[in-house]
């Protein structure tokens, strides 16, 4: 898939499935592939293997490859599979090479988590991966501190298909989009459905989603509304999912993946608990709240 073709997929929903574990805590590739198949069948435009909702940082490199394999098998060509890469630049490039060999369509680089990373050097990290990868790259920007020039430099790299912008600094987003070549990288809302209307108004296109694991119909409704410019309709759906997304923000976002996995469990998918340092399971009160919410959606 060319960078230009992949940008079209990024204008849609980038769904991030969970990773299932068996009773011994090992990656359960069969259930994981089933979840990817479910998301693909729903019509999600781009599917991310081993993203944050897939617990990238809790997986070993060997386990990440297992998730890639399950993703590619489950999606079955119905949508692009974007393989998440990260950690050291050398490890990330190794993962990118293996993802290409396995049949992935693109790669998404997690932002480096080094506490002493300089903003301009983080851009160097991303562009180095874009240079070394034979697949189109999405750069996942999660931290504040970048300048407009940083964003423009990243967006101008010919192999950077998109920037997954996952901070609430909408002023930076708006200024960066205005300063960037419109034919360059696409700026994508990296904060899911709740922030998608505001990001769309600022000029971003497409959004990421963990909700697609549980209720992809709502994600698709938000996307359809924003594509047609109907912000009122988009806000109505966002209000419908507000409690689900609010539960995910508990414990400084430590329950982000937990809520999704517990919802999948309620729906009958045995995905196992979240690995540390995420919250393993919800308490009884939050679980009951989630059960009631899912019942109200059915």
Let me know if 229 is exposed, middle or buried by CB neighbors in 10 A (0-12, 13-18, 19+): exposed
Q: Shortest CA distance to 126 belongs to which of 162, 154, 166?
A: 154
Cα 219 from Cα 175, distance rounded (Å): 27
Reply yes or no on whether 41 is catalytic: no
Please, are residues 83 and 50 in contact by the beta-carbon 8 Å criterion?
yes
92 neighbors 109 (Cβ within 8 angstroms): yes
Note whether 29 and 207 are within 8 A (CB).
no
The verdict on whether 164 is a catalytic residue reads yes
User: Taken in order 33, 253, 275, 244, is the CA torsion positive or negative?
Assistant: negative
Query: Would the annotation count 82 as a binding residue?
Result: no
- Apex CA 94: angle with CA 167 and CA 277, to 5°? 45
Catalytic residue among 21, 36, 68, 140: 140
Spatial separation of the C-alpha atoms in residues 231 and 222, rounded to whole Å: 9
Q: DSSP code of 77?
A: T
Residue 55 corresponds to which tokens in the numbers above?
């617990």
Q: Which helix (H) or strand (E) holds 126?
A: helix 119-132
Residues 29, 70: contact at Cβ < 8 Å? yes
Exactly one of 11, 66, 164, 261 is catalytic; name it.
164
Any residues with CB less than 8 A from the CB of 208 and at least 6 apart, and which? 13, 14, 15, 16, 48, 51, 164, 166, 188, 189, 190, 191, 192
Residue positions forming the annotated binding site: 53
Binding residues for pyruvate: 53
What residues are annotated to the active site? 140, 164
């Amino acid at each position: 898939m060319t960078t230009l073709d992949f940008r079209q997929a990024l204008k849609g929903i980038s769904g991030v499935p969970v990773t299932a574990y068996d009773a011994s805590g090992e990656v359960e590739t069969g259930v994981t592939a089933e979840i990817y198949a479910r998301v693909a069948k729903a019509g999600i435009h781009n599917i991310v293997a081993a993203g944050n909702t897939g617990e990238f940082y809790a997986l070993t490199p060997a386990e990440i490859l297992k998730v890639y394999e399950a993703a590619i098998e489950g999606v079955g060509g119905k949508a692009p599979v974007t393989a998440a890469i990260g950690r050291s630049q050398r490890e990330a490039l190794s993962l990118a090479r293996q993802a290409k060999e396995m049949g992935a369509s693109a790669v998404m680089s997690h932002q480096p988590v080094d506490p002493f990373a300089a903003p301009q050097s983080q851009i160097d990290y991303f562009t180095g991966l874009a240079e070394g990868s034979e697949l189109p790259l999405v750069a996942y920007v999660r931290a504040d501190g970048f300048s407009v020039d940083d964003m423009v430099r990243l967006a101008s790299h010919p192999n950077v298909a998109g920037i997954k912008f996952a901070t609430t600094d909408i002023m930076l987003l708006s200024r960066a989009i205005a300063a960037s070549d419109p034919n360059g990288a696409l700026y994508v809302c990296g904060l899911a459905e709740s922030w998608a209307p505001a990001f769309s108004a600022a000029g971003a296109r497409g959004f990421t989603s963990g909700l697609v694991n549980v209720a992809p119909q709502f994600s698709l409704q938000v996307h359809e509304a924003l594509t047609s410019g109907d912000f009122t309709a988009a806000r109505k759906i966002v209000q419908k999912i507000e409690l689900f997304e609010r539960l995910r923000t508990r414990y400084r976002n430590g329950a982000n993946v937990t809520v999704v996995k517990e919802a999948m469990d309620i729906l009958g998918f045995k995905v196992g608990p979240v690995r540390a340092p995420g919250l393993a399971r919800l308490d009884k009160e939050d679980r009951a709240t989630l059960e009631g919410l899912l019942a109200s959606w059915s």
